Structure 1
């Protein structure tokens, strides 16, 4: 196993913080704003619920597979480090490049974009305010992350606890006071020829995504070999149960055709209907806090990939991007860089399309990592954590990843080509940077 260079980040994150970051980073905009798109693609309420369950199972098998790999490589950088150690420097670079140029900014832009929709409704503002609200939210969270990681980790714990209030309210009210049949509704205005169960599962995976971001903080955990697998597995399992119950609760309360009509405004409508104007405002505020917690998890973790790559002189402007604040050891320049790219994406893409494309981008490299577990098993018999039901679990993870990639290619071919083009752009960057730094030696 290749050793990584010494890191200067503080190892201050314990299990509670790690688990909160996993759950808090996953639960955010997706479960609320993807209900309509999942339902439309599935075509019926029963298939929509099944899509959420299968999306959770796919994510759990992915997490179990990565947990074994991550326990053997507890370094800052996550997927970037895993791919490099298994497949070599160029493959690792492309995995990191994809995350800092496409995946990270896209997912930050998407989450903040969804959140701005609810914020505009909450404050009674027009849709013209969505982008300014999204940009302002990212700036606020980015400023907080310029201090010591304990501050953002504490914020993750607080917002994770806070988001349980609207989640519990929606589940309880929907299950016990809803009068719709959650298992037998169909979306009559969506023809069977346009419904696509594969796309429905793909939409749920955006809501489940974010679990691997805790791996980017491997260099800041107190005991990552033990904490990383526990946080990933328990976090994903908890979210799977919560998402299934929320979906059933919403489908018990709102007719399927109404959810189809409301689209992204379904969460605001349901909270107002269920809890009245004041209660609806309180629950909506809780959902916004939930999204802020998710956004915090993204802004906390993605700059760590930039830092890890810059520390090893893998990207242009490495000296600046590897800068850490003297006291808090926060990657200031990396945080600004990722946030700036997110602002650009907000201006050119809508949140729904961004969410699907960023899931496609990350799953292309997930598949490589999943195959890597078989390579590592041949190389190393000593493991801090072993994936249960091996090799069945990794095989399911690989099949799920291929399924995601194929569905998105069929669903948005032009978007896929655009994002693959950005990834391919990393190849000349890799050689130019390598040539530049070699000439400086």
Structure 2
């Protein structure tokens, strides 16, 4: 491994790679499995479409806001660097700590677990093998990311193309062959309240949209980050929004609302089977497995880069800032994140719970970043620096992102206070760790 300052990350990723990482990291299994739960919580088809649409609008507003923050703080490290630049080193550290130590290994293990269960069912083998399969997927994706960054980027492009196939099919089949009225139907049993729980439906879609911000972690590996980063975020989120709305509308056109709810996680499979039979259902399972591997790859690309950036700032162990001399990727950070994910996958079945708790804290930092665009505009008002991207419809756009983020945080506190409190405690554990590294830096000077 190399630690010399002359060895830097390679700038060879373009717009296609950036777009693929945004789309590939976000679109995993949520759009295929969440149709019934969102519809049930919303209370009807019209409300269900509105929930997916509002979640997308909030995410798009968030993306437009973060694109400006990234232009004003042109550093690698993504959200960690943005919060650090706006609020100082402690808040920046807690942002990176919560993502690298808590969220990253948990969510990677969780994705591996879902993919492994689908694989076991697809192969017709005992589910007892799923844990080993999940670990195997983690090591496979880790191996890809130990090669040159264009390999992982190429895998992102490939898996994104694959996962777009069923999305296009579902949209087209629903539009041209669906015979059900896609608007106006209600469900007889609605979650939470007699009138539905539209807010919780929006919350569920926001979790399905999460992950787009991670592309900011590869800024220093983009050929033209000033152009490609905001383009990738904005158009990537817009493509995801249109895909989610299209798939939802297609499913609503094929199946009655009550049937979608009764089918639960199998609603999308039922649509595919009606079009292509049992073979189509098996093909869909395979595509979703590939889709989830693409999502895992996006996480494995992004989070080690954050650990690498924090190590360069002296806030994580020094070995994490080393680059492979052959492939020029942060190999130690990649291996470390993969091993933490493997530990969770091997010894606990609660990875999904951990990732859900971590999402709560990530949205807290999202909101801080959205507020940061107001702070940065005021702070940099007299500077002559060129801003490559400015949030359109300012200040309305960032305010939409702030309100959406506040809704996520408030809803989680209301629905799972103990879980939210646990998540906050996990983040606060990072405070003594931060001061340990600060004191270490003082003694080494």
The TM-score range, normalised by the shorter chain, is over 0.9
CA, structure 1 residues 192+94, in 2 after alignment: closer, same or farther (shift >3 Å)?
closer
Q: Is 1:211 aligned to residue 208 of structure 2?
A: no
Deviations 1:143-185 (A, max 9, x none): 1101110100111111111222111112112232233332233
Counterparts of 1:6 and 1:421 in 2: how far apart (Å)? Answer: 39
Aligned pairs for 1:138-157 within 5 A: 138-157=138-157
Q: Is 1:414 aligned to residue 418 of structure 2?
A: yes
Counterparts of 1:166 and 1:351 in 2: how far apart (Å)? Answer: 27
Counterparts of 1:125 and 1:181 in 2: how far apart (Å)? Answer: 39
Conservation of the 8 A alpha-carbon contact between 1:17 and 1:156: yes
Counterparts of 1:61 and 1:221 in 2: how far apart (Å)? Answer: 23
CA, structure 1 residues 198+353, in 2 after alignment: closer, same or farther (shift >3 Å)?
farther
Q: Residue 171 of structure 2 corresponds to which residue in structure 1? A: 171
Counterparts of 2:135 and 2:418 in 1: how far apart (Å)? Answer: 27
State the Cα distance separating 1:191 from its structure 2 match. Answer: 4.9
Deviations 1:116-164 (A, max 9, x none): 3432332223443443332221211111101110100111111111222
Conservation of the 8 A alpha-carbon contact between 1:99 and 1:362: yes
Q: Residue 70 of structure 1 corresponds to which residue in structure 2? A: 70
Conservation of the 8 A alpha-carbon contact between 2:160 and 2:294: yes
Deviations 1:402-428 (A, max 9, x none): 011011112222221111111010001
CA, structure 1 residues 175+320, in 2 after alignment: closer, same or farther (shift >3 Å)?
same
Counterparts of 2:268 and 2:122 in 1: how far apart (Å)? Answer: 11
Counterparts of 2:118 and 2:182 in 1: how far apart (Å)? Answer: 25
CA, structure 1 residues 184+207, in 2 after alignment: closer, same or farther (shift >3 Å)?
same
Counterparts of 1:103 and 1:97 in 2: how far apart (Å)? Answer: 9
Conservation of the 8 A alpha-carbon contact between 1:105 and 1:345: yes
Aligned pairs for 1:278-357 within 5 A: 278-315=279-316, 318-346=317-345, 348=348, 353-354=353-354, 356-357=356-357
Q: Is 1:226 aligned to residue 230 of structure 2?
A: no
Counterparts of 1:144 and 1:190 in 2: how far apart (Å)? Answer: 44
Q: Residue 128 of structure 2 corresponds to which residue in structure 1? A: 128
State the Cα distance separating 1:198 from its structure 2 match. Answer: 1.7
Task: List gaps (5 residues or longer) in structure 2.
Answer: none
Counterparts of 2:341 and 2:207 in 1: how far apart (Å)? Answer: 17
Counterparts of 1:240 and 1:350 in 2: how far apart (Å)? Answer: 30
State the Cα distance separating 1:432 from its structure 2 match. Answer: 1.4
Q: Is 1:262 aligned to residue 263 of structure 2?
A: yes
Counterparts of 1:229 and 1:121 in 2: how far apart (Å)? Answer: 40
Conservation of the 8 A alpha-carbon contact between 1:166 and 1:284: no
Secondary structure of the structure 2 residue equivalent to 1:261: helix
Counterparts of 1:322 and 1:221 in 2: how far apart (Å)? Answer: 19
Conservation of the 8 A alpha-carbon contact between 1:71 and 1:226: no
CA, structure 1 residues 36+257, in 2 after alignment: closer, same or farther (shift >3 Å)?
same
Q: Residue 88 of structure 1 corresponds to which residue in structure 2? A: 88
Secondary structure of the structure 1 residue equivalent to 2:188: coil
CA, structure 1 residues 37+361, in 2 after alignment: closer, same or farther (shift >3 Å)?
farther
Counterparts of 2:156 and 2:57 in 1: how far apart (Å)? Answer: 25
Q: Residue 114 of structure 2 corresponds to which residue in structure 1? A: 114
Aligned pairs for 1:195-210 within 5 A: 195-210=196-211
CA, structure 1 residues 330+257, in 2 after alignment: closer, same or farther (shift >3 Å)?
same
Conservation of the 8 A alpha-carbon contact between 1:273 and 1:280: no
Q: Residue 193 of structure 1 corresponds to which residue in structure 2? A: 193
Task: List gaps (5 residues or longer) in structure 1.
Answer: none
Conservation of the 8 A alpha-carbon contact between 2:40 and 2:191: no
Counterparts of 2:351 and 2:208 in 1: how far apart (Å)? Answer: 12
Q: Residue 388 of structure 1 corresponds to which residue in structure 2? A: 392
Conservation of the 8 A alpha-carbon contact between 1:74 and 1:219: no
Counterparts of 2:94 and 2:6 in 1: how far apart (Å)? Answer: 22
Q: Residue 158 of structure 1 corresponds to which residue in structure 2? A: 158
Conservation of the 8 A alpha-carbon contact between 1:106 and 1:354: yes
Q: Residue 430 of structure 1 corresponds to which residue in structure 2? A: 434
State the Cα distance separating 1:199 from its structure 2 match. Answer: 1.6
Conservation of the 8 A alpha-carbon contact between 1:29 and 1:115: no
Secondary structure of the structure 2 residue equivalent to 1:74: coil
The alignment's C-alpha RMSD in Å is: 2.1
Deviations 1:303-350 (A, max 9, x none): 1111111122102xx222222211111222211222233334445455
